[in-house]
Structure formats: structure tokens, C-alpha cells
Amino acid sequence: MSENNLIKCKLLKKEIAAGLCQDIFSVSCKLIKREAVKEIDGYTQEQIEKACESCPYTD
């Protein structure tokens, strides 16, 4: 994480809060619905999963 507790998101191509990162990861794992996270509107489930699979902040 960077000094200001932001995480670089490969999907959104910008720095985001850790909580939003967690929400996006939860969507990628199908724990919550995509509609619950407005910031990822317009992205497919496949795009979300691919970004999260290659993210160094998830395991």
C-alpha cells in the first residue's frame, strides 16, 4: 500500500481505498453482486476476475 493507505487498482486504473478494493475482490469471488459496487459499473465479471487474479494485494 502507498503512504496514504490507497491501493493501485488494475481494474479501475487508479488508486482506491482498501475498503473498495475489498468490495471489488468480493465481487470477483461472487460473494456480493456487482450491482452493490457502483464504481465497477460497465465492467464484466470476467474483467473483474482477471484484474483481481493478477493483483498483488489479493491471494
Q: Are 33 and 27 in contact (CB under 8 A)?
A: yes
- The yes-or-no verdict on residue 2 having pLDDT over 60 is no
Distance CA 51, CA 4 (A): 22
10-54 pLDDT, tens digit per residue, is 999 999 999 999 999 999 999 999 999 999 999 999 999 999 999
Q: What is the dihedral sign for C-alpha 22, 25, 31, 37?
A: positive
How far lies 13's CA from each of 31, 40, 55, in Å? Answer: 23, 12, 12
Q: What is the pLDDT of residue 42?
A: 95
How far lies 20's CA from each of 3, 7, 38, 56, in Å? Answer: 17, 9, 10, 15
Q: What is the pLDDT of residue 3?
A: 53
Q: Indicate the pTM of the whole model.
A: 0.88
